[in-house]
Amino acid sequence: MFADEIKEHLTEKLIPFWMNLRDDRYGGYYGWLGYDLALDRKAVKGCILNSRILWFFSNASLLFPEREDLLDCAHHAYLFLRDHCVDRENGGIFWSLTYDGQPEDTTKHTYNQAFAIYALSSYYDASGDGEALALARELFHLIETKCRDEYGYLEAFNVWFEPEGNEKLSENGVLAEKTMNTLLHVFEAYTELYRVSHDHEVADCLRYILDLFADKVYNPKLGRQEVFFDRTWHFLIDLYSYGHDIETAWLIDRGLEVLGDPAYTEKLSPVTKTITKNIYNRAYENHSLANEAENGVVDTTRVWWVQAEAVVGFLNEYQKSPGRLEYLTASMDIWCYIKKYLVDPREGSEWFWSVDKDGRPQEKPIVEPWKCPYHNGRMCFEVIRRMKDAS
């Protein structure tokens, strides 16, 4: 029932919605659909958005290999990334493009490079296109040579990969030189690249990142991750990001499974278990997850991606500990909340960005550079795959 509902949601709501955003004139996918469902065909096209759409259709194709239209949509996204998002002169992925595929914001952000690797690796798995894997490896080496210092991964650079301010991935009044968020998505990207390539150099980097999570990002006294850091990993603010914690827990578990290193599994599994337990006890309330807590003050907004990650995170912990039925119950409960409050019932829409604590939608765009099919699409893929494997 649970997986069947989510499969129907994926095939009847999410996939058709994103297919309809395909730009057959200029390439890629349209970058803006307002809350009023007005499509802006000349809006900026975020490279993160288009990477995530490539990832989405690649994984949809892997899940439904009989549907050639899904691989065609992935190929369309791939061509746009390859031909427009890549800076062929200086290397790396731009931040954003104009509607017709010209560089708009030439910032090179580690986060952006990572999502391209993530998408290209999945597309290679779906298509067998060795050019995509070669580009993913090229971006991997670029991150390792241009985006790292002796303490870890840096964040923002100009077009020539000279460091600049990290306003794009900093929030809450701080300017961070390192963030948990970027580190997480580099790890996620490298996990997918290692899964399809079995490259030992990538495996070594996964171990390096796992050590950073365990030794620098995770706060054992508070049983949570810190979020924003200076260059040498001193955290800058008392911020508890509930969505990122539950997302990190299951993504690290996935990375440990793909890596297959018993020593790292032994080191990190207790951390992911504790993070998940604490999110369950501290943030899961009223059938959903609150957004975050800054200086102990809880933001009760229910954000679309936080709920999607919670569905997967709690299901992941249940599968690790099948006797803990409360985690399965929570996963299914949050899905019911999503159906009731976050799925936009209007024709030609997808999910609301967020709702308030009473379930009222906040008037934010349905599609924009950060609002994409990555979190909710991945929730669908994970539930379908995991419940199928369990049956």
All structural domains of the chain with their residue ranges? 2-390
Confidence of residue 1 (pLDDT cuts 50, 70, 90): confident
End-to-end CA distance of the chain: 12
For residue range 292-305, list pLDDT tens digits in order.
999 999 999 999 99
Confidence of residue 147 (pLDDT cuts 50, 70, 90): very high
Closest-CA residue to 29 (of 99, 105, 114): 99
Q: What's the pLDDT score for residue 172?
A: 87
For residue 145, what are the contacts with CB-CB under 8 A and spacing of at least 6? none
For residue range 224-260, list pLDDT tens digits in order.
999 999 999 999 999 999 999 999 999 999 999 999 9
* The CATH number of the domain covering residues in 2-390: 1.50.10.10
Q: What is the 3-state composition of the chain as percent helix, strand, coil, each rounded to the nearest 5?
A: 55, 15, 30
Q: What is the mean pLDDT of residues 99-115?
A: 98
3-state secondary structure of 153: strand
Tell me if 76 sits within 8 A of 20, measured CB to CB: no
Tell me if 107 sits within 8 A of 94, measured CB to CB: yes
Write down the pTM of the prediction: 0.97
Confidence of residue 264 (pLDDT cuts 50, 70, 90): very high
Confidence of residue 391 (pLDDT cuts 50, 70, 90): low
Closest-CA residue to 112 (of 89, 146, 149): 146
For residue range 338-385, list pLDDT tens digits in order.
999 999 999 999 999 999 999 999 999 999 999 999 999 999 999 999
User: CB neighbours (10 Å) of residue 215?
Assistant: 11
Average pLDDT over all residues of the chain:
97
- pLDDT surpasses 70 at 214: yes
